[in-house]
């Protein structure tokens, strides 16, 4: 059963300007160390930061709370499996929210161009124990 869907579009130049202005203060507040390392390895790091920022915003929209419900952006980490497929690793308030809401699967899609980055997150909740199924 779908719990929530979130989508976001980011202007990569805007993220680049924020990084130039605030530097590590911004990066450490929003991204994990692994994300900073990953993005920093790329010539156009702002494209990758933009994509990850879009993921974090999409996740917040999918859970329906936005910031302030005990979820911090750095608790939402984009990771890639060995084949390159993106996924999320959650910690702190983000992980607690997902567990409490009985969300058992997170679907993630990311894309970017030179100018924009976009992401979509779909959260699946466990079906009720009474045996009902989602026959959509």
In the chain, beta strands by DSSP E: 2-11, 76-80, 86-90, 103-112, 116-125
Label residues 54-78 b or e (16+ Cβ within 10 Å = b).
bbbbbbbbbbeeeeeeebebbbbbb
Residue 25 CA neighbour count, 13 Å, CB half: 4
DSSP symbol at 98: H
Report residue 96 CA to chain centroid gap: 15
Active site residues: 61, 112
* Nearest-angstrom CA–CA distance, 24 and 28: 6
């Amino acid at each position: 059963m779908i719990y929530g869907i979130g989508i976001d579009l980011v202007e990569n130049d805007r993220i680049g300007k924020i990084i130039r202005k605030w530097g590590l203060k911004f990066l450490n507040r929003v991204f994990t160390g692994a994300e900073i390392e990953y993005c920093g390895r790329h010539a156009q790091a702002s494209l990758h930061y933009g994509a990850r920022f879009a993921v974090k915003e999409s996740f917040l929209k999918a859970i329906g709370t936005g910031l302030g419900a005990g979820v911090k952006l750095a608790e939402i980490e984009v990771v890639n499996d060995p084949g390159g497929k993106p996924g999320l690793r959650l910690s702190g308030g983000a992980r607690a929210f997902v567990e409490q809401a009985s969300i058992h699967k997170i679907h993630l899609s990311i894309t970017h161009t030179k100018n924009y980055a976009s992401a979509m997150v779909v959260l699946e909740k466990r079906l009720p124990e009474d045996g009902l199924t989602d026959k959509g």
